[in-house]
Amino acid sequence: MDSFSKNPENYLPQYGGWCAYAMGVKGEKVDVDHETFKVWDGKLYLFYNKYFNNTLKYWNDDEASLKPQADIN
């Protein structure tokens, strides 16, 4: 809690809390499952995970190209 209190911005999800995969593919704002996430390089990424479609898997398969595109979008 002390770490959070000192730097709360460090704990905010990337891309405004929208699905990182959807941001990387089309720049779309897609709701997420808050239990489907990845912490990478000290940052929190959230993902859509419903109806047998876990986008974290797809993100992990192509993170090298999806992340830079999501950052742009």
pLDDT of residue 68: 97
Q: Is 54 left (phi over 0), alpha (psi -120 to 50) or beta?
A: beta
Q: What is the pLDDT of residues 20-58, one digit of tens each?
A: 999 999 999 999 999 999 998 888 999 999 999 999 999
Per-residue pLDDT at 1 exceeds 80: no
Q: What is the reported pLDDT for 10?
A: 78
Show me where the domains of the chain are located.
Answer: 2-72
Is it the case that residue 3 has pLDDT exceeding 80? no
CA 12, CA 39: separation in Å to the nearest integer?
Answer: 11
* pLDDT of res. 53: 95
Q: What's the whole-model pTM score?
A: 0.87
